[in-house]
Amino acid sequence: MTEKFLVFTAGAVFAIGLGISGMTDANKVINFLNPLGQWDPSLAFVMVGAIGVHLATYRLILSRERPLFAAAFSVAASTNVDTRLLIGAGLFGAGWGLGGFCPGPGIVSAVALGTEALVFVGAMLGGMVLFHVFDRQP
């Protein structure tokens, strides 16, 4: 119960943070990524706020023996920078600049039932499943 509550709360706070920060405003994101138009660099400060907090708390939490409700921390062990990582990130970035949504803001925006956000999320979930089908790596 408590674990569920904390995980749920984390999701809700994450969504509210995205909304307050401006990340759920697709036009603002497009303007952030387009210095040649009406450039709005303010979204760079989302990273400043998020990393400013998480950089400190991440280390503090990691100094615990284990999380509250799991046997161990699940942190990716891979440090490999390969073409798969870079091509994937490149495709993601291209889609981000094209639509103005990245995954979290897309999902949060979809609750307003606007056509663009719903189409984006549907296509994104489809793209994820498509990749799983063709991907041979686990």
**Neighbouring C-beta atoms of residue 17, cutoff 10 Å:** 17
Residue 99 Cβ vs another protein, minimum distance, rounded to whole Å: 3
Residue 39 Cβ vs another protein, minimum distance, rounded to whole Å: 10
CA distances 93 to 25, 105, 113, Å, are: 17, 14, 24
Closest CA to 105 of 5, 31, 44, 14: 14
Residue 116 corresponds to which amino acid? E
Give the whole-angstrom CA distance, residue 49 versus residue 14.
13
Residue 14 Cβ vs another protein, minimum distance, rounded to whole Å: 4
Residue 102 Cβ vs another protein, minimum distance, rounded to whole Å: 4
